[in-house]
Structure 1
Amino acid sequence: MTQTILNRPAADSALRGVLRRWPEWAPWAATLWALGYGLTALGWTLTGAGYPIDPTDRDSSMALLGDVPADVGAPLFAAVALAAAGTGAVMARYRPGAYIPRWWRRFAVGLGATFALVLLVVVPTTRLLALLGYLPMIVFRAPFDAEIRADVAAALGVEDVHQLVALVGGFLWAGATVAYARRTAGSCARCGRPDRSASVAAVLRWGRVAVYVAAAIPALYAVTRWVWVAGVPMGMDEQQYDDARADGSLWAAAWLGSFALVGTVLTLGLVQRWGEVFPRWVPMLRRRTVPVGLAVVPATFVAVLATSGGLGMVKVALTDSWFGVEDWAAIGPTLLWPLWGVALGWGTLAYWLRRRGRCADCGLG
């Protein structure tokens, strides 16, 4: 027992060291991810089996690429991923000071950024955002409710695994591209300094406004759901409302609304004092500094899911007929989710810029 306790600080320090060196390993990790994904997609192409997107599935149709059939999507994914793997290998081998043509830098940064954007925003659907919203309920109730465990097992499939894999790849490629862009520009790969002061000032100037926008949108979503629970079928077909009350799905919507309100409060922490120092009423942590990553990591994750899920809902509203005008409250707030994601991402970036300290690598602060 004593040996375990003594080893914990060393393990924590090693983990922090690995995370701190992300500019070194992220390009190689992104390259290996792209190679593995590309070979897997090549297998889908050659065998005609395993393609994880079903264009006939309703949830798949929410994805921006959900309508792409296997005979087009599989070879396309394979070609792009394998091209990215080759580019990533060159990016990972770059050493500061080495000469690179300007056209190559633009190509590599553009390809990496586009690939990351597709993986983070285009591939995922609203399923992951809904799963995140239901996760606390699942964690607390699933151990005691066999029906919930069965529902979760039935709902999760190969497409959900594919979306999670895409998110991992997207974040890896975002990190790899940022590190390469900074190194080739002569900046610190870890913190980006020296920054362009005008750009940083612009992010900080609009950061508070972005946070308020990002907090208001999920609050609006929550209000519509709790109005339904209160017995008012506002913006919802009355027959559907009666069916939702009868089968209990109305309470599921209320749960998501409550979780959205929690998100609103946490989002406001990005511009509040208690978002930087734990309040006095928090046991054991009172008056301690809030770790920057504790706010930045989950906020970034939610910003990505809100943007991708929102774009999927916009696509549905424009192309399908699932919802009529009488159901405006059911889908209306979700059409603001892309704005929610962008605003939350902007506010999170401003929070990180405001709180980042002196860089341990370059010494700038």
Structure 2
Amino acid sequence: MSKIMIKARTATRSTPSAVPAVPPAPRWAELAARATVLTTVPSGLWRIAFGFGVPVGFTGATAARYAEHQPGWGTVYVVVLSALAEALAFLTVGLVRPWGRVAPRWIPLIGGRAVRPLAAIVPAALGSAILTTLGIAALTGGWSRNMAEADSPHGIAGLVMTLAYLPLVAWGPLLGVVTVDYARRTLRRR
């Protein structure tokens, strides 16, 4: 290919003019996206502390089972799980930032290309539905059943664990409202 064709192709791929103009996210959507990222932090910190062998209140056979692997592969597991949850929550920020409409250049294969709205909306909406369902299930009895087990943390340890995991209930609804705003802003331009 000639240099002119390569330059034209690159310019088309990387210029913001190749992407339809989208109004900026409202302030409330940006705050909701940031809050989404924060919903996973307390449980991640609790899980990582648990993974490194900090006594978090488990007793009996449950404590013995976990003690075999922490520190060890159990530590790696909880660190990776916490990092994955945080990374997935961070993707919500893309729904209110420019990199949610044009993939950052450093991403292999798709860098600099426009993000098709449905490629972001469909997984975000599915994620929101799943997370909201899990949050409702936890609030309507799942959590209390787990905490009623004899080996589960009780007293202050149980309260700390509950407070660490409670923000996760907001993850699904927050992702949902940010997704609806993203859809409203990006799909109406088509």
The residue that corresponds to 1:266 in the other structure is 91
| Residue type of the alignment partner of 1:255 | V
Q: CA deviation at 1:347?
A: 0.9
**Residue number among 120, 123, 131 corresponding to 1:306 in the alignment:** 131
Q: CA deviation at 1:342?
A: 0.8
2: distance between equivalents of 1:347 and 1:205? 11
Q: Does 1:291 align with 2:116?
A: yes
2: distance between equivalents of 1:277 and 1:347? 17
2:36 and 2:90 in contact (8 A); partners too: no
The residue that corresponds to 2:48 in the other structure is 226
| Residue type of the alignment partner of 1:354 | R
Q: CA deviation at 1:230?
A: 3.1
The residue that corresponds to 1:184 in the other structure is none
Q: Deviations over 1:305-356 (max 9, x none)?
A: 1111112222234466134232345444333333211111011111122222
Q: Does 1:316 align with 2:142?
A: yes
The residue that corresponds to 1:348 in the other structure is 179
| Residue type of the alignment partner of 2:128 | A
How many matched pairs?
Answer: 156
The residue that corresponds to 1:236 in the other structure is 57
1:260/1:213 Cα in 2 relative to 1: closer, same or farther (>3 Å)?
A: same
1:241/1:329 Cα in 2 relative to 1: closer, same or farther (>3 Å)?
A: farther
Q: Deviations over 1:41-70 (max 9, x none)?
A: xxxxxxxxxxxxxxxxxxxxxxxxxxxxxx
Q: Deviations over 1:5-40 (max 9, x none)?
A: xxxxxxxxxxxxxxxxxxxxxxxxxxxxxxxxxxxx
What aligned pairs does 1:125-164 form with structure 2 within 5 A after superposition? none
1:280 and 1:286 in contact (8 A); partners too: yes
1:244/1:319 Cα in 2 relative to 1: closer, same or farther (>3 Å)?
A: closer
Gaps of 5+ in 1: 1-202, 360-365
Q: Deviations over 1:106-156 (max 9, x none)?
A: xxxxxxxxxxxxxxxxxxxxxxxxxxxxxxxxxxxxxxxxxxxxxxxxxxx
1:271/1:242 Cα in 2 relative to 1: closer, same or farther (>3 Å)?
A: farther
1:271 and 1:351 in contact (8 A); partners too: yes
Select the structure of larger CA radius of gyration: 1
| Residue type of the alignment partner of 1:273 | P
Percent identity reads 24
The residue that corresponds to 1:253 in the other structure is 78
1: distance between equivalents of 2:99 and 2:162? 33
1: distance between equivalents of 2:143 and 2:108? 46
| Residue type of the alignment partner of 2:158 | D
1:266/1:236 Cα in 2 relative to 1: closer, same or farther (>3 Å)?
A: farther
What aligned pairs does 1:320-331 form with structure 2 within 5 A after superposition? 321-322=148-149, 323=152, 324-325=154-155, 326-331=157-162
1:313 and 1:335 in contact (8 A); partners too: no
Q: Deviations over 1:50-94 (max 9, x none)?
A: xxxxxxxxxxxxxxxxxxxxxxxxxxxxxxxxxxxxxxxxxxxxx
TM-score of the aligned structures, taking structure 2 as reference length: 0.68
1:299 and 1:344 in contact (8 A); partners too: yes
2:33 and 2:96 in contact (8 A); partners too: yes
1: distance between equivalents of 2:29 and 2:120? 15
2: distance between equivalents of 1:283 and 1:316? 41
Describe the SS at the equivalent of 1:354: helix
What aligned pairs does 1:14-29 form with structure 2 within 5 A after superposition? none
Higher helix proportion: 1
Q: CA deviation at 1:262?
A: 1.4
2: distance between equivalents of 1:283 and 1:228? 36
TM-score of the aligned structures, taking structure 1 as reference length: 0.38
